[in-house]
Amino acid sequence: MQYRTFGKLDWEPSALGFGAMRLPILDGDSSKIDEPLATRMIRTAIDAGVNYVDTAWPYHQQQSEPFVGRVLQDGYRDKVKLATKLPSWLIKEAADFDKHLNIQLERLQTDTIDFYLLHGLNKTAWPNLRDLGVLAWAEKAIASGRIQYLGFSFHDDLSVFKEIVDANDWTFCQIMYNYMDTHFQAGEEGLAYAANKGLAVVVMEPLRGGSLTRPAPQPVADLWAGASTQRSQADWALQWVWNNPKVSLLLSGMTEMQHVEENLVSASKSGVGLLSPDELDLVDRVSKAYRSLSPIPCTDCKYCMPCPSGVAIPRIFSLYNAVQMYGDDANAKRSYNLFMSPENRADQCVECGQCEEACPQQIKIIEWLKTCHSFLAESASS
């Protein structure tokens, strides 16, 4: 295992962290974790040097935290730093902070959470928590030893990210980052911004939810085939993240023992600067080849936003484009139907035309929104 730096802390995280959000399940039911297999997977990773385990309140329909608590018995708790997250969306009053932390400590069978994150901060969740006094509350939780360090995970635009980074002396943050999403959410600029301010940066979605390991479309497959060093698609994606010195560690949500074994091999040979300039150029060309498959030439400039009817135009185009790039229909439909609020979906468009006047790419936004909605609103299983 390779170890890295973690912001200002005198502690070295393993390059690979275990994310307990995509554990193996039974009967297709995410609340039924295949505990014998998942236990072997997590303990195999820890035995190989993984020292960071990440879970959260909602993972596996609230079964991940209690499961992780059980896995870390038999001496395993002492071998890792444990991260979990305050369920920001459930916090309605200040008393809810303690209420949820106490339940989490019990579920995890521990006296302390090493790394406690405010989960999924965005432009609405953050002001709510801030105004309810989350920072003062966290100081007390740290003083009492129930939390060791405070951080946040993030899903919103770069400007919101910077505002949150600047609002507190955070120890760490967790952002989505992979070679296809360098300008999405916090992105490359946010990563550098946080790291330069001394925050450790934990990377999630290094494989873009598995999209980057799906069978590659021909133009991408041709590029990988021409590489001087042959790697699996997963290894390329992981090494690209580890290559960046500003990344502290990456989390991988592993679903099979084979994922654990392969990721451990990747992590053991990982390092800053491992990829040669030619290899970085190849990854860049792969990224461009994926993008060339996008039917909608949206650059995510957001000049069309805000839509007066609330339509999340670039986000919807990104989901539709992802279907064409990665062939992962189910993921895109799930994001659209489960994670996008109905007020932001494409069928809210009243065809006022304002967005089309603003779009520098001259995209026929109204027509494309209809296409996107009729595809994405279908059942995720279809």
- Site of interaction with ligand SF4 (CB under 6 A): 298-304, 307-309, 311, 313-314, 317, 349-355, 358-359, 361, 363, 365-366, 369
Neighbours of 254 (CB within 10 A): 26
Cβ at position 358, least distance to ligand SF4 in Å: 6
Whole-angstrom distance, CA of residue 46 vs CA of residue 175: 23
Output 110 or 182, the one with its CB closest to ligand SF4: 182
Cβ at position 320, least distance to ligand SF4 in Å: 12
DSSP string, 285-349: HHHHHHHHT-SS------TTPSPTT---HHHHHHHHHHHHHH--HHHHHHIIIIIS-GGGSGGG-
Sign of the Cα torsion 198, 183, 370, 326 reads: negative
Cβ at position 5, least distance to ligand SF4 in Å: 36
Alpha-carbon dihedral 261, 267, 269, 270, rounded to 10 degrees: 150
Token readout for 351 is 């065809």
φ, ψ of residue 203 in degrees (nearest 5): -100, 130
β 29-33/52-54 pair status: unpaired
Closest CA to 13 of 81, 112, 114: 81
Residues whose CB falls within 8 Å of the CB of residue 72, separated by 6 or more in sequence, listed in order: 53, 80, 82, 108, 109, 110
Cβ at position 365, least distance to ligand SF4 in Å: 5
Output 114 or 356, the one with its CB closest to ligand SF4: 356
Q: Is 173 exposed, middle or buried (0-12, 13-18, 19+ CB in 10 A)?
A: buried
Cβ at position 351, least distance to ligand SF4 in Å: 5
Cβ at position 27, least distance to ligand SF4 in Å: 40
Cβ at position 85, least distance to ligand SF4 in Å: 30
Output 129 or 363, the one with its CB closest to ligand SF4: 363
Q: Crossing angle for the helix pair 95-107 and 134-143, nearest 10 degrees?
A: 40
Output 182 or 354, the one with its CB closest to ligand SF4: 354
Cβ at position 356, least distance to ligand SF4 in Å: 7
CA distances from 328 to 91, 242, 277 (A): 33, 25, 30
β 29-33/25-26 pair status: antiparallel
Output 89 or 303, the one with its CB closest to ligand SF4: 303
Output 319 or 359, the one with its CB closest to ligand SF4: 359
Token readout for 165 is 């980074």
Output 282 or 298, the one with its CB closest to ligand SF4: 298
Would you give the distance in Å from CA 58 to the centre of its chain? 14
Output 133 or 306, the one with its CB closest to ligand SF4: 306
Q: What's the alpha-carbon Rg for the chain, to the nearest Å?
A: 21
Cβ at position 290, least distance to ligand SF4 in Å: 17
Indicate the DSSP class of residue 337.
I
Whole-angstrom distance, CA of residue 365 vs CA of residue 356: 6
